[in-house]
Amino acid sequence: MKIPEDLTKEQLIRDLIGLREQINERERLEEDKNRYLEELNRTKAMYQGLFEFAPDAILIVDGEGHIVQANRQVERMFGYTRGELMSVEHDILLPERLRERHREHRRLYRAEPCVRPMGTGLELYGRRKDGSELPVDISLGPMRIENDTVVLAVVRDVTERKNAEETIERLNKNLEHKVFQLEASNKDWEMFSHSVSHELRSPLFTIDGFSRTLLKKYGDKLDVKGQEQLTTIMEAVKQMRQLLDDLLVFSRASAVEIAAIPDKVDMEKIVKHAYEELKPLVGSRNVQLEMKSLPVCHGDSSLLRQVFVNFLENAIKFTEQKEVALLEVGSIENGDEIEFYVKDNGVGFDMEHKDKLFNIFQRLHSSDDFAGTGSGLAIVRRIVEKHGGRVWAEGKLGEGATFYFTLLSNKCYLP
Residues of the chain with CATH 3.30.450.20: 54-157
Neighbours of 373 (CB within 10 A): 20
* Per-residue model confidence as pLDDT tens digits over 156-170: 999 898 899 889 999
Q: Is the pLDDT of residue 306 over 50?
A: yes
Q: What is the mean pLDDT of residues 105-130?
A: 73
pTM: 0.50
Residue 100: the pLDDT is 79
Q: Please say whether the structural domain 54-157 has been given the CATH code 1.10.3720.10.
A: no
Q: Is 357 exposed, middle or buried (0-12, 13-18, 19+ CB in 10 A)?
A: buried
C-alpha–C-alpha distance, residues 343 and 404, integer Å: 9
The conformation of residue 404, written as its DSSP 8-state character, comes to: E
Please state, for a pLDDT cut of 70, what percent of the chain lies above it.
Answer: 80
Q: Is the pLDDT of residue 411 over 90?
A: no
Lowest-confidence pick of 143-152, 318-327, 363-372? 363-372
**Between 367 and 181, the higher pLDDT residue:** 181
Q: What is the mean pLDDT of residues 67-88?
A: 90
Q: What is the mean pLDDT of residues 134-145?
A: 84
Residue 270: the pLDDT is 93
Residues of the chain with CATH 3.30.565.10: 259-415
CB-CB contact of 105 with 94 (8 Å):
no
Residue 190: the pLDDT is 66
What average pLDDT is seen over the chain? Answer: 81
Residue 194: the pLDDT is 64
Residue (of 411, 378, 413) closest to 299 by Cα position = 411
Residues of the chain with CATH 1.10.287: 158-255
CATH architecture of the region 158-255: Orthogonal Bundle (1.10)
C-alpha–C-alpha distance, residues 313 and 303, integer Å: 15
Q: Is the pLDDT of residue 232 over 60?
A: yes
**Between 335 and 200, the higher pLDDT residue:** 335
End-to-end CA gap in the chain: 101
Q: Is the pLDDT of residue 320 over 80?
A: yes
* Per-residue model confidence as pLDDT tens digits over 245-282: 666 666 666 656 665 567 889 999 999 999 999 998 88
CB-CB contact of 243 with 278 (8 Å):
no
Please give the CATH topology (third level) of the domain spanning 259-415: Heat Shock Protein 90 (3.30.565)
**Between 85 and 184, the higher pLDDT residue:** 85
* Per-residue model confidence as pLDDT tens digits over 324-346: 999 999 999 888 899 999 999 99
**Between 356 and 345, the higher pLDDT residue:** 345
Residue 369: the pLDDT is 45
C-alpha–C-alpha distance, residues 357 and 393, integer Å: 8
